[in-house]
Amino acid sequence: MDIRNMKNITIVVPDCGVNLNSIGGAFEILRRANDFWIKTGNESRLEIHIAGFMRELKAHESYLAIHPIDIRTIQRTNLVIIPSLIDDFSKVVNTNRALIDWIYKQYQNGAEVASICSGAFLLAATGLLNGKSCSIHWNKAVEFKRMFPEIKVAEDKIITDENGIYTNGGAYSFLNLILYLVEKIFDRSVAVYCSKVFQIDMERTAQSHFTIFNIQKGHGDELIGKAQTYIEENIDAKISFENLASELAISRRSFDRRFIKATGNTPMEYLQRVKVEAAKKELEKGRKSIFEIMTDVGYADDKAFREVFRKITGLSPAEYRNKYNRSVA
């Protein structure tokens, strides 16, 4: 189906904690895009609904509320947008079976589906992401992988687009997803207009330089926890994982397997990420040179340090410092 022929958009309201900004923001940008399209001499292209199985959903300690229409009155739609969720994700899946089925049936009937941030948990529960890539907020990636190991998480991407299914990285990067959809629905000029009106950077494609490396220690594996502590306390040393495994009285193969299961990273990936996180903090302070920071985190090869830093953050050390160090003009 060509998304340019789309007429009906349904922003769904799950029965759970929801980030209302992702609903209101998506609605407002799409509405403004359609208004601009009309003002430039075209016929209205969109009919936008906010729909769910409940009459009211309160959020933010009941300061805010939304009143969706009954989703059962919508027989067919062209695009389903799933907002960002704020809740226990296993509970969300269990309490929204009817909505999950509705989304699945709409896709089977030709609709496209877009998830915003943690809305990907609801989308994944439909089975529509199986065998596809999915972007999600970096701090939800580990939990998502545990719940849906059959789905490939595109950790660095802000937006994925596969076979009429769209996902995005998270937080306010959903604005980039909505702009992306605006360009597909209308054209580049409408997307540029919305970019200027809402002051959204159209060229953001990666989320890696926003990532704060979260030291995963809630896994319950005491042995791997000891290994993590050792790595974090010796980032300037040349660590032999063969020797570390031996010190922990475990084979290297079992050590690697348990480490990946517990943290989501190989031991070497974990070490690199710890080093880069320490380097990021020093670059943000701006008190040391890049060479000094590189040495502090255990790198002797400037090229190797820059390559690992860029791989993890999407930026060079100099670019990161210029972007996040307040003392840089």
The answer on 230 and 176 residing in a single domain is: no
Token duo for residue 137: 């907020």
Confidence check: pLDDT of 137 > 90: no
CA distance 43 to 32: 14
pLDDT of residue 2: 45
Instruction: Kindly report the length of the chain.
Output: 329
Give residue 151's pLDDT. 93
Please check the confidence at residue 92 and state whether its pLDDT lies above 90: yes
Average pLDDT over residues 108-112: 95
Number of other residues whose CB lies within 10 A of the CB of residue 20: 20
Boundary-marking domain end, from 208, 230, 251:
208
Residue 329 lies in a domain: no
Same domain, 64 and 167: yes
Q: Are residues 203 and 264 in the same domain?
A: no
Residue 214 lies in a domain: no
Domain match, 89 and 238 both: no
The answer to whether residues 106 and 250 belong to one domain is no
pLDDT at 210: 63
| Range of the structural domain that residue 316 is part of | 222-324
Q: Which of the two residues, 59 and 256, has the higher pLDDT score?
A: 256
Residue 116 pLDDT more than 80? yes
Whether residues 176 and 245 share a domain: the answer is: no
When pLDDT is cut at 50, 70 and 90, the band that residue 62 belongs to is confident
Taking the whole predicted model, whether its pTM rises above 0.85 is answered as: no
210 φ, ψ (degrees, to nearest 5): -95, -10
- DSSP H or E segment with residue 188: helix 188-198
202 and 296 share one domain: no
Give the residue from 208, 231, 265 where a domain finishes: 208
Tell me: pLDDT of 142 over 80.
Answer: yes
1 pLDDT above the threshold of 50: no
* Intra-chain end-to-end CA distance of the chain, in Å: 48
Highest mean pLDDT among 23-32, 58-67, 168-177, 200-209: 23-32
200 and 233 fall within a common domain: no
Asked if 291 and 192 sit in the same domain, the reply is no
* Per-position DSSP letters for 11-39, written without gaps between them: EEE-SS-B-HHHHHHHHHHHHHHHHHHHH
Count of domains for the chain: 2
Q: Are residues 148 and 231 in the same domain?
A: no
The CATH number that applies at residue 274 is 1.10.10.60
Please tell me the predicted confidence (pLDDT) of residue 286. Answer: 81
Q: Is residue 215 part of a domain?
A: no
Question: What pLDDT, in 10s, does the model give residues 209-233?
Answer: 666 566 566 678 899 999 998 998 8
How many CB atoms are located within 10 Å of the residue 22 CB?
28
Q: Are residues 185 and 234 in the same domain?
A: no
Do 233 and 91 reside in the same domain of the chain?
no
Q: What is the CATH number of the domain that holds 151?
A: 3.40.50.880
- Out of 154, 178, 208, a domain closes at 208
Give the pLDDT score at 329. Answer: 46
